[in-house]
Structure 1
Amino acid sequence: MTAENFIPKKYPNSVENGSYTWTSPSNIALVKYWGKKANQIPENPSISFTLNNCKTTTTLSFSKKESDNYFSFEVFLDGEKKDDFKPKIETFFNRVEIYLPFLKSYHFKIETSNTFPHSSGIASSASGMSALALCLMSVEKKLINDVSEENFIQKASFLARLGSGSACRSLEGDLVVWGKHDKIDGSSDLFGVKYPFEVHKNFKNYQDTILLVDKGEKQVSSTVGHNLMHGHPFAQERFNQAEKNLSDIILILKNGDLDKFIALVESEALTLHSMMMTSMPYFILMKPNTLEIINKIWAYRNSTGSKVCFTLDAGANVHVLYPENEAAQVLEFIQNELVTFCQKGEYINDKIGFGAKLL
């Protein structure tokens, strides 16, 4: 399949106005994607857990306008007009216009809200762009009528990727792969696909408590960080490592080997941040309290035999991952020993989810 497959033929229907609301979750990568080619194509494949509670709700209202020479839209976050979001949306519209040729025919009102802090290392761009892509696909479905559920989700994932790479992994769950991989039939650089293989009961309803170490804006955006992989001295070795880790995690997920899962996931998190620290210019998104939490998790695991582990996204916050059967003990550990390292003592209890929903 190529990108040209997503260019629609002439729309048979006409729609004057309407409104759609989608809620779409964030996701947390187990094997990370860091570095991309042109057109939001990943340098390496990735796999993520879809989250349940960390999500974006977006309402897209649209009305036909007289001129179709320009994009017309306004953006609101939590009811407040956000003109500083407009350049990113305009870039997105420019990228996807060829696949959604109705975009200049309407004025759009985009109203969005998150259940978690924006731009703090929880992938708000993933949930936000996937929710917007789904709303736009709902408009196109009205213009076409005959769209299968599979094609709807596939194109929405394709569009979401053009807004934010990891957004293509947020539409379904509970595990999603993005990026072509030899061992995963149907995998693609163009969109995310549901993980197709057997998953051991150990990984069902897996828990993710997100410790909010720093809720502020990141000093270096993910877009800038991805671009710094061009010419990075360790980039190719990193891409090879990710390919191997995705092969390895297939067997881990099938066999339920929690020790190997822990080793792979924590290594992936630290490798992601090591790429940041060895780029030019170099930068660090972890905070002192990020390291304090990691060391506390290691000490707790060594002393108790717990299967708790951590992962990190592109930020300071720590995702504490653990099996459902350890929830009571791990939450007690978090409250007793880790909350003190969170900004204002704040954290979010989350778990594996199963994707976006039309409201």
Structure 2
Amino acid sequence: MNTAQFIPKTRSEKIEKVSFTWQTPSNIALVKYWGKSDPQLPKNASISFTLNNCHTRTTIGFSKQESKACADFDLFFEGKEKEEFKPKIADFFKRVQIYCPYVLDYKMIISSTNSFPHSSGIASSASGLSAIAMCLMSLEQALNPSLTAAFIIKKASFLARLGSGSASRSIEGPLVVWGEHPAIVGSSDVFGIQFPYKVHAVFENYQDAILLVDKGEKQVSSTLGHNLMHDHPYAENRFVQANENVSKMSEILQKGALKAFVNLVESEALALHAMMLTSTPYFILMKPNTLEIIQKIWEFRVAENSNICFTLDAGANVHILYPFNEKEKINRFIESELAQYCQNKQYILDVVGHGAKKG
């Protein structure tokens, strides 16, 4: 791993006070990564759709001060100071300070808002930490204007990964691969890359409806879930399966093979939950309404000859994926048949997006 490329060599500018704002999206993995080694390296490659409407908007104000031994920051979420969020962000700054030594020279005021419920299985760590990473890279670019746009994106993904593995996939879009894989040119364990091949037109404006079955805190944190893979009896086979599925998904995305897409996406979702069902300790992350929704989707798919499918992250909420040409029909189905299984009948209509946006 060539991580030395991310250690700044020079700073040509001096900046006393500055502020940057970035909006970065969540993402939904089509082929899941579950299991990692230090420092935040995946046990298998993964590929995800970048979302558009589910995002975090973060502003960081940087004020020059005497250099500190560790990052000095205040953290506000949805307008309120959040001490309980600070340890994770402090750990993130410790991990990145060798690559971003300037964080020790500034007092940082971090203010974030989400367009979706926090900690409810919509990858809030992915969007939150990728937004912080983009703000850091804006400061680094201001300190060293010679940095290229391509390097900034690559390093932002690298930094985001050190906070949350899936955050490496929230810098770009609409399809991002994270994890070294022989079928994906340029892929890496240390940062995500845009899917490098021409994608069939059917996937360019794919829809994602997120059904909020349970808006509360996740039963199992991602960190705990990944750690359960260390001694899991099926872990090695799962890593092999996932990497094989990345190869299959690459072909599907290029060919526009919708039926194969449906089968592989749903299989991957259930495989992720199967690993949690068979871990020690074991967890059931789905809720009864999750299963009701899945059954309804299967029935609708057969009755309507539809290409609708579901996927899940490590929680109870259901992502419904479908092509744009079925949008009206499926949105009516969601409102009339599936919303009743959501908490307070809430769901989010989303579409694949193109990554981080400044300002």
TM-score by length of 2: 0.99
Percent identity between matched residues is 60
CA distance in 1, matches of 2:248, 2:322: 19
Amino acid across the alignment from 1:224: L
Look up the match of 2:281. 281
Matched, 1:81 2:73: no
Bigger drift between 3-12 and 192-201 goes to 3-12
CA distance in structure 2 between the partners assigned to 1:289 and 1:35 by the alignment: 27
Q: Is 1:349 the counterpart of 2:349 in the alignment?
A: yes
- Any unmatched runs of 5+ in structure 1? none
SS at 1:321's partner residue? Answer: strand
The answer as to 2:180 corresponding to 1:180 is yes
Q: Is the 8 A contact 2:290 2:317 kept in 1?
A: yes
Number of residues of Structure 1 aligned to a counterpart in Structure 2: 359
Q: 2:29 matched to which residue of 1?
A: 29
Which residue does the alignment assign to 2:256? 256
Q: Corresponding residue for 2:309? A: 309
Q: Indicate the residue corresponding to 2:154 in structure 1.
A: 154
Deviation readout 1:285-310 (Å, 9 max, x if unpaired): 11110000000000111111010000
Query: In the alignment, which residue of structure 2 is the partner of 1:126?
Result: 126
In 1, Cα distance between equivalents of 2:82 and 2:338: 34
More displaced 10-residue stretch of structure 1: 225-234 or 198-207: 198-207
User: 1:63 corresponds to which letter in structure 2?
Assistant: S
Q: Which residue of 2 aligns with 1:330?
A: 330
CA contact (8 A) 2:26 2:55 kept: yes
Q: 1:140 maps to what in 2? A: 140
Runs of 4+ in 1 over 4 A off after TM superposition: none
Q: SS at the partner of 1:102?
A: helix
Q: Could you tell me how far 1:336 is from its partner in structure 2?
A: 1.1
The offset of 1:219, in angstroms, is 1.6
Q: CA deviation at 1:8?
A: 1.1
**Please, which runs of 5 or more residues in structure 2 have no aligned partner?**
none
1:49: Cα distance to partner? 0.3
Contact preservation (8 Å) 2:203, 2:253: yes
The answer as to 2:52 corresponding to 1:52 is: yes
**Aligned-residue offset at 1:10:** 3.0
Report the equivalent of 2:164.
164
Counterpart residue identity of residue 157, structure 1: S
Name the counterpart of 1:209. 209
Tell me, what secondary structure is at the counterpart of 2:42?
Answer: coil
SS across alignment from 1:250:
helix
2:199 and 2:185 mapped to 1: Cα distance?
16
Q: Offset of 1:145 from its aligned partner?
A: 1.2
State the distance in 2 between where 1:241 and 1:256 align. Answer: 22
Give the drift of 1:67.
4.0
CA distance in 2, matches of 1:23, 1:179: 24
- d(CA) in 2 for partners of 1:326 and 1:245? 26
In structure 2, the residue corresponding to 1:39 is in which secondary structure? coil
Shift of residue 14 of structure 1?
1.4
8 Å contact kept, 2:36–2:42: yes
Secondary structure of the residue that 1:166 maps to in structure 2? helix
How big is the shift at 1:314?
A: 1.2
1:255 and 1:149 map into 2 onto residues whose CA distance is 30
Query: Are 2:208 and 2:349, in contact at CA under 8 Å, matched by a contact in 1?
Result: yes
8 Å contact kept, 2:121–2:314: yes
How far 1:68 moved relative to its partner? 2.4
Between the aligned partners of 1:181 and 1:307, the Cα distance in structure 2 is 28
Contact 2:205 / 2:324 at 8 angstroms: preserved in 1?
A: yes
Shift of residue 275 of structure 1? 0.5
SS of the equivalent of 1:55 reads strand
Structure 1 position 32, deviation (Å): 0.3
CA distance in 1, matches of 2:196, 2:124: 26
Structure 1 residue 70: Cα displacement: 3.1
What is the rounded CA distance, in whole Å, between the counterparts of 1:219 and 1:270 in structure 2?
17
Paired position in structure 1 for 2:246 = 246
> Which amino acid letter does the alignment assign opposite residue 114 of structure 2?
N
Q: C-alpha offsets along residues 171-224 of structure 1, whole Å, 9 cap, x if unaligned?
A: 111100000000111100000000011211121200000000000001210110
**Residue 223 (structure 1) aligns with:** 223
Taking the aligned partners of 2:319 and 2:294, their CA distance within structure 1 comes to 10
Partner of 2:41: 41
Q: Which residue of 2 aligns with 1:104?
A: 104
Whole-Å separation in 1 of the counterparts to 2:69 and 2:56: 30
The 2-side partners of 1:90 and 1:221 are apart by 18
Cα distance in 1, alignment partners of residues 58 and 192 from structure 2? 20
Q: CA RMSD in A?
A: 0.8
**Could you tell me the TM-score, scaled by structure 1's length?**
0.99
Does the 8 A contact of 2:37 with 2:43 survive in 1?
yes
